[in-house]
Amino acid sequence: MARHLITSAIPYINGIKHLGNLVGSQLPADLFARYQRGRGCEVMFLCATDEHGTPAELAAAKAGKPIEVFCAEMHQVQADIARRFGLSFDHFGRSSSPQNHRLTQHFAGKLDQNGLIAEVSERQVYSNADGRFLPDRYIEGTCPNCGYDKARGDQCENCTKQLDPTDLIEPRSAISGSTDLEIRETKHLYLRQSALRQELSDWIDSKTDWPILTTSIARKWLNDGDGLQDRGITRDLDWGIPVRKGDQPWPGMEGKVFYVWFDAPIEYIAATAEWADAHGKPAGEWRRWWRLDEGAEDVRYTQFMGKDNVPFHTLSFPATIIGSGEPWKLVDYIKSFNYLTYDGGQFSTSQGRGVFQDQALSILPADYWRWWLLSHAPEGSDAEFTWENFQVSVNKDLADILGNFVSRITKFCRSKFGETIPEGGAHGPEEQALIKALTSRIRAYEGFMEAMEVRKAANELRAIWGLGNEYLQSAAPWSSFKTDPERAAMQVRLGINLIRLYAVLSAPFIPFAADSMLAAMRTQDRSWPDNVTAALDTLTAGHAFEVPEVLFAKITDEQRDEWQERFQGVRD
């Protein structure tokens, strides 16, 4: 079995994230991590809060708190929400950690040694009202491409076009709103990505199994216009990782910090170091995941992210790794996602638009959301969240198919045989046909999970649940009981074992319900059904169980209408 290193794009610290953020990186990454653990693989699943840059500074200023305090508090908030959603991170780190400071400065020093850092004089926006240079995200204005009036100086959130502050129409300070801006000269460090263009292009071309969404975005940045551009890696900010060459000062860069896009991906490595330190492990324990000369040769590294993060992970972060000249692990597979839309527009943290993770958990348990989001993951194209679709999916898939099966078989067994599994009877042609169908579906499910085809995996899982209901309808143990109690006992025994099987298969999607199903069956046997016949004999005659509470309550029309009304505006 491979060792799986799994990272999801690290969310900004500037507030509670919406459902689009969840399905675009963290949730499918958790699905994959849980699946690989279920198959017996060694997994290191990492995420963190992205705490530097202007979003953090602006959010802290809005909250009226020192930025260090704001980031510490919001890290705890995001970590708690992640736990409540069942995100099974091995470590949830912080990009402001001492480990990330050291590693970021280390990489910058190595890149400079290798001639890949240029010192560039550039003209930058200075706000007289604020008495400071304004980094890209501190400048707002109208996008020249689509006319959106809240575009930032680095990117338009509406059309995703990359921008420079000077591109904006009617620019203003995002701090004070002042339009009293002027252009002044300042010096910054640039990563000479263009010098690595051919090496990066060859590397991208070698990834023939990557999603088209991922490679097409990478090639666009590599080849459009003048091709891959050098990119600034420093900013005039107070909060961030101070610019140093490893552990040495960087003359002329005093008072500057590294740009957030440079240090944020390095946090994937730093988070592993944080994990080792938090558990009292030696440095070799984290380096074996990342250093090819220290044991990472057998690691398969998979990244999950929304499409807006693809350029940084296919080009800029690999340029940092390759340019260091050191044997660090490069990503093996990037699973990228399109956008989840809401009510005809985009979810937006900065605009407070859509359903946010804390709000979602306040109205329904995590598994309802996990199932809908994953079974509608925006893989091939953008996907739209509607309350009607959410209601239909939850009621049909979770309540009518899975929940109904669990309820029917356990209640019937209790009424006829008590709360222990009955003995007697042997599998007949009907059971053999079920086992054959289950085996075929489970192998297909495994294939889709390995390939990270999330929607297709959900469809297979739904079909696997459906086979249980079809069998119950056909076998009709309530009829068998009248004429052949032993056959009914066998049918019930198989049905109870199906619940355990369903819990094991469903755990990556709906872990809380899976735990409830296993607890009701009074077992913690989570062995994967490599052999379906054997799996359906795991719980033997005489084994006690409980009839569980309703696994999934249906969403009523009244609830749906109330939530649709409540979330039609924007969050403050």
Give dist(CA 78, CA 84) in Å, integer: 10
Q: Is the pLDDT of residue 514 over 60?
A: yes
Give pLDDT, residue 160: 82
Higher pLDDT, 567 or 279: 279
Residue 300's φ and ψ, nearest 5 degrees, are -105, 120
pLDDT tier at 570 (50, 70, 90 boundaries)? low
- β-strand pairing of 231-232 with 181-191: antiparallel
The strands making up 345-346's β-sheet, listed across from edge to edge, are 345-346, 340-342, 383-385
Q: Is the pLDDT of residue 513 over 70?
A: yes
Give pLDDT, residue 572: 55
Q: Is the pLDDT of residue 336 over 60?
A: yes
513: tokens are 């319900």
pLDDT > 90: percent of the chain: 83
Of 59, 333, 367, nearest to 214 by C-alpha is 333
The strands making up 42-49's β-sheet, listed across from edge to edge, are 91-94, 42-49, 3-8, 299-306, 333-337
Of 246, 121, 123, nearest to 188 by C-alpha is 121
Q: What is the largest CA-CA distance in the chain?
A: 92
Give pLDDT, residue 350: 64
Give dist(CA 456, CA 450) in Å, integer: 11
CA dihedral 31, 34, 35, 40 (to 10 degrees): 160
pLDDT tier at 347 (50, 70, 90 boundaries)? confident
Q: Is the pLDDT of residue 510 over 90?
A: yes
Give dist(CA 113, CA 324) in Å, integer: 8
* Residue 363 DSSP SS3: helix
Which range has the worst mean pLDDT, 17-21, 72-76, 190-194? 17-21
Up-side HSE of residue 361: CA atoms within 13 Å toward CB? 15
For 450-479, the pLDDT digits (tens) are 999 999 999 999 999 999 999 999 999 999
Average pLDDT on 21-47 reads 97
pLDDT > 70: percent of the chain: 99
Give dist(CA 513, CA 533) in Å, integer: 24
For 532-561, the pLDDT digits (tens) are 999 999 999 999 999 998 999 999 999 999
H helix or E strand, kind and range, residue 141 = strand 139-142
Count of residues making up the chain: 572
Average pLDDT on 227-251 reads 93
Question: CB–CB of 17/340 below 8 Å?
Answer: no
pTM here is: 0.92
- β-strand pairing of 234-235 with 257-258: antiparallel
Give pLDDT, residue 138: 84
Average pLDDT on 112-124 reads 93
Question: CB–CB of 548/411 below 8 Å?
Answer: no
For 170-192, the pLDDT digits (tens) are 999 988 899 999 988 889 999 99
Of 509, 245, 526, nearest to 402 by C-alpha is 509
State the sign of the Cα–Cα–Cα–Cα dihedral 96, 97, 103, 106.
positive
Tokens 């996907």 belong to 383
Give pLDDT, residue 157: 83
Question: CB–CB of 127/173 below 8 Å?
Answer: yes
Average pLDDT along the chain:
94
567: tokens are 């979330």
Question: CB–CB of 485/11 below 8 Å?
Answer: no
Residues 6+ positions from 491 with CB-CB distance below 8 Å: 425, 431, 475, 477, 480
For 195-207, the pLDDT digits (tens) are 999 999 999 999 9
Exposed/middle/buried for residue 164 (C-beta within 10 Å: 0-12, 13-18, 19+): exposed
Which residue pairs from 67-71 have beta carbons closer than 8 angstroms and sit at least 24 positions apart in sequence?
Answer: 67/239, 68/96, 70/13, 71/13, 71/96
Give dist(CA 505, CA 465) in Å, integer: 10
302 strand-pairing partners: 6, 333
28: tokens are 């499918």
H helix or E strand, kind and range, residue 331 = none
Q: Residue 119: what residue type?
A: E
Give pLDDT, residue 345: 78
Give pLDDT, residue 122: 84
The secondary structure of 289-329 as a DSSP string is: HHBGGGTGGGEEEEEEEEGGGHHIIIIIHHHHHHHTTS-BP
For 522-535, the pLDDT digits (tens) are 999 999 999 999 99
Question: CB–CB of 503/409 below 8 Å?
Answer: no
For 372-411, the pLDDT digits (tens) are 999 999 998 999 999 999 999 999 999 999 999 999 999 9
Mark out the alpha helices in 401-555 (DSSP H runs): 404-417, 429-450, 454-475, 477-483, 485-506, 511-520, 532-535
Q: Residue 529: how many CB atoms within 10 A of its CB?
A: 18
